Chains A and B, each alone.
Chain A
Amino acid sequence: MHIPENYLSPATCAVMAVVAVPALAVCAKKAKQELSNETVPLIGMCAAFSFLLMMFNLPLPGGTTGHAVGGALAAALVGPWAAALSVSAALVIQAVLFGDGGILPLGANIFNMAIILPFVSYFIAKAVKKVVKSQAGEFAGIAIGAYVGLNAAALATAIEFGIQPSIAADASGLPLYCPYPLSIAIPAMMMPHLLVAGFAEAAFSVGIYSFIKRVSPISIRQESKGGNKLVYAFISALILLVPLGLLAQGTAWGEWGAEEMAELVESGSPLGFTPWGMENGFSFSALLPDYTVPGIPEVVGYILSAICGVALSIIIFRLAAGLLKKKSIA
């Protein structure tokens, strides 16, 4: 999953570094708050541990071997903040000392493997543990979290690869960096992770976690309160990242507007007409068409649309929850 040099455009690398650096600064602050004075030595040791985890070769079906990333396990053992810092340090050492993963795309690699993987796996594990309050639920949460977290990281990597032909092409439209569009990059990246690597990450995480829990349960980080704040911080970060969607040009497959239909190229030739049903059918004018607000810059409009969407979703869910509560009391 380590992105090598020259597969992402320098602009993408810069954007990913701008996202990763403040995220790590927040992680450092939170890790210092959550853990005691021994934070720095523990993070250093955990970085070495994360690095070593990637060197354990696991036996896989068919006689081959593979290795886990260890981000989900680190999140379960020391919490997501310290895990993000540890995996980042391991990635820096891999890039500088061992040439594993590029130096320019380090921000992208940190974002995928040190931020997405630990945080997604941590939140999923926490949610499952909340629903199934037993040891089996705890282990199932870690396994599901590790599987989903690794695949989320692989998906982010695939998207970063896949948007390159759209954002970095020469005058004749030929790609300057990774030449595979999303339609190729996503299946090529997701297949091995969905079928093999995800299961290896889940098995390894649960195996080590259960061993430590059995041998030395005191070594596992105790859950701190205030988890909702983490969710809000995560949602806020996602809202700020929404303008990344503007990087991708063109319309998603099957989401064309009526005015785009005639110019739509299918099997090498333009369609040449607009279907009658689309031209004369029901037309609804949205308040924020294409997530933009007329009269203000596109990026600001995108962020405002995301804020509106999140706010409306929270209002609807809270009202629905209130109604359900009233009914149950009655």
Chain B
Amino acid sequence: MKSSKKPSPSRGGLKNDAFVDKSLITFISVLSIIRAQDRQDSWIDRVNAFYKLCCSLFLIVLVALSRSPYFVFAVISVHLLAVALLKTASMKRVLALAATAFGFSCLMIAPAFFMGKAGFASLIPVKALASALIAGMLSLVKFQELTSALKRLHAPDFLLMVLDLSIRSLVMLGEFSLETLQALKMRRLGGRGGGYRSLAGVGGTVFLKSKEMSEEMHQAMVCRGFAGTYRPMGKLGFGLANAGWVLATAGLAALFFFT
């Protein structure tokens, strides 16, 4: 005999929709980060992506090699000053990224303190904070400019094209996934179970859509005669903003070698 007990439409629905809600929030936050890239207009945009990329990579290596807390604190101080001059939205984003990296690192290193094996590793959370601030500042660079900077560093065209296409498709496919998840949430109103099956359906549809889009993209490329060769746009100047950025990095590097 079948049970006549039906799930409560509101409570059951809410409880079982938690994974859909969480996915929706993740998609919205990622899409807002990518979209925010187009709206940036702060002093950091005046520094060329090429210098930012080279200086960031150089500083990340120095932070990883450093055993001096003074150097790491100097890197944090300089970057905090740079973050303080950003627009509020960008500042919040970089600080949130740095705080997450610092918190996660503290959590990972905590057992080593109790075991008495921390040693220099106790510096890791502070180093993680410094690296996250550097990476956070780099993440404010517009993706098109980053592609151009990578081209100046002689990255292969194949890699640049894959990265470029990925970031563009990420927005389109992300919006499509968001709509599909919202449709799933509306259809599941008051429903129970089938979590994996529903998500498998959404994931499968996203794959089919991505395949369709890649075919259209290939046809468009053929029509435009685009052979996948990139050229860096514009000349690489060395203005005041670029000089300031490079000098700050050089100062920090000097501190690394003399402490």
Interface set of A (CB-CB < 8 Å, partner B): 4-7, 9-10, 13, 28, 37-38, 40-49, 51-53, 55-59, 63, 65, 77, 85, 89-90, 92-93, 95-99, 102-104, 165, 169-170, 172, 174-180, 184, 203-204, 207-208, 210-212, 215-216, 219
Given known A45-B165, A207-B200, contact A58–B214 (CB-CB < 8 A): no
**Do B211 and A45 touch (CB < 8 A)?**
yes
**Do A89 and B23 touch (CB < 8 A)?**
no
**Do B218 and A41 touch (CB < 8 A)?**
yes
**Do B213 and A45 touch (CB < 8 A)?**
yes
Question: Please, which residues of chain A bring their CB within 8 A of the CB of B201?
Answer: 211
**Do B204 and A215 touch (CB < 8 A)?**
yes
**Do B214 and A42 touch (CB < 8 A)?**
yes
**Do A211 and B18 touch (CB < 8 A)?**
no
**Do A52 and B170 touch (CB < 8 A)?**
yes
**Do B206 and A49 touch (CB < 8 A)?**
yes
Q: Does B81 contact A (CB under 8 A)?
A: no
**Do A5 and B60 touch (CB < 8 A)?**
yes
Interchain CA distance A189-B195 in the complex, whole Å: 27
**Do B67 and A176 touch (CB < 8 A)?**
yes
Nearest to B172 among chain A residues (CB) is A48
**Do A179 and B210 touch (CB < 8 A)?**
no
**Do A6 and B166 touch (CB < 8 A)?**
no
Q: Does B30 contact A (CB under 8 A)?
A: yes
Given known A55-B26, A56-B23, A56-B202, contact A215–B208 (CB-CB < 8 A): yes
Nearest to A214 among chain B residues (CB) is B204
Q: Main SS of the interface on chain B?
A: helix
Question: Please, which residues of chain A bring their CB within 8 A of the CB of B57?
Answer: 103
B144 → chain A, closest Cβ, in Å? 12
Nearest to B63 among chain A residues (CB) is A6
Q: Does B236 contact A (CB under 8 A)?
A: no
Interchain CA distance A4-B63 in the complex, whole Å: 13
**Do B132 and A5 touch (CB < 8 A)?**
yes
Interchain CA distance A172-B73 in the complex, whole Å: 24
B53 → chain A, closest Cβ, in Å? 9
B187 → chain A, closest Cβ, in Å? 16
A49 → chain B, closest Cβ, in Å? 5
**Do B19 and A176 touch (CB < 8 A)?**
no
Nearest to B163 among chain A residues (CB) is A89
> B196-209: contact bitstring with A at CB < 8 Å (1 yes, 0 no)?
11011111111110
**Do B30 and A55 touch (CB < 8 A)?**
yes
Instruction: Please pick, from B206, B210, B214, the residue contacting A38 in the complex, using a CB distance under 8 A.
Output: B214
Q: Does B78 contact A (CB under 8 A)?
A: no
Interchain CA distance A4-B111 in the complex, whole Å: 18
> B107-128: contact bitstring with A at CB < 8 Å (1 yes, 0 no)?
0110110010111110010011
- Kindly list 14 other residue pairs between chains A and B, CB separation below 8 angstroms, not including A170-B119, A174-B119: A4-B131, A5-B132, A6-B124, A45-B165, A45-B173, A52-B170, A52-B173, A52-B174, A55-B177, A85-B162, A98-B30, A99-B135, A179-B112, A180-B112
Instruction: Please pick, from B121, B136, B161, B208, the residue contacting A212 in the complex, using a CB distance under 8 A.
Output: B208
**Do A6 and B131 touch (CB < 8 A)?**
yes
B83 → chain A, closest Cβ, in Å? 13
Question: Please, which residues of chain A bring their CB within 8 A of the CB of B215?
Answer: 38, 41
**Do B121 and A40 touch (CB < 8 A)?**
no
Question: Please, which residues of chain B bring their CB within 8 A of the CB of A10?
Answer: 61, 64-65
Instruction: Please pick, from A48, A102, A215, the residue contacting B169 in the complex, using a CB distance under 8 A.
Output: A48
Interchain CA distance A103-B215 in the complex, whole Å: 32
**Do B203 and A211 touch (CB < 8 A)?**
yes
Nearest to B143 among chain A residues (CB) is A97
B213 → chain A, closest Cβ, in Å? 6
Nearest to B96 among chain A residues (CB) is A99
> B11-42: contact bitstring with A at CB < 8 Å (1 yes, 0 no)?
00000101100110011001001100000000
Question: Please, which residues of chain A bring their CB within 8 A of the CB of B84?
Answer: none
**Do A58 and B60 touch (CB < 8 A)?**
no
Given known A45-B165, A179-B121, contact A203–B196 (CB-CB < 8 A): yes
A38 → chain B, closest Cβ, in Å? 4
Instruction: Please pick, from B19, B34, B111, the residue contacting A58 in the complex, using a CB distance under 8 A.
Output: B19
Interchain CA distance A40-B206 in the complex, whole Å: 18
Interchain CA distance A96-B208 in the complex, whole Å: 27
Closest 10 CB pairs of A and B: A174-B119, A44-B165, A207-B200, A211-B204, A5-B131, A47-B166, A48-B169, A38-B218, A179-B121, A41-B217
Q: Does B158 contact A (CB under 8 A)?
A: yes
**Do B101 and A52 touch (CB < 8 A)?**
no
Nearest to B117 among chain A residues (CB) is A179
Q: Which of A55, A58, A176 has the most CB of B within 10 A?
A: A55
**Do B166 and A44 touch (CB < 8 A)?**
yes
Question: Please, which residues of chain A bring their CB within 8 A of the CB of B242?
Answer: none
A214 → chain B, closest Cβ, in Å? 9
Q: Does B138 contact A (CB under 8 A)?
A: yes
